[in-house]
Amino acid sequence: MTYYLVNTKVAVDTGKGVRWTREQYLVEAQSVMDAETKVNEDFDASNIEFEVVQVTKSNVIKVL
């Protein structure tokens, strides 16, 4: 397996309006498309507005 870094923009309600924050996820996947699909499925389970901005292959070899 390979690890991918998935950069997202996530909408956060501050009480004064919506603010977009950036979040980064390390995803174990077989391809860029697979990593993006896993993040989309994870966010679909919640009711949070988000956007996948970038997916890049990570240099992480193993998570212990």
Residue ranges of domains in the chain, CATH in brackets: 2-57 (3.10.20)
Q: Is the per-residue pLDDT at 25 higher than 90?
A: yes
pTM of the model: 0.88
Cβ count near 17 (within 10 Å): 7
| Predicted local confidence at residue 47, as pLDDT | 85
User: Distances in Å between the alpha carbon of 48 and those of 20, 33, 52?
Assistant: 11, 21, 13
Q: What tens digit of pLDDT does each residue of 43-53 get? A: 998 888 999 99
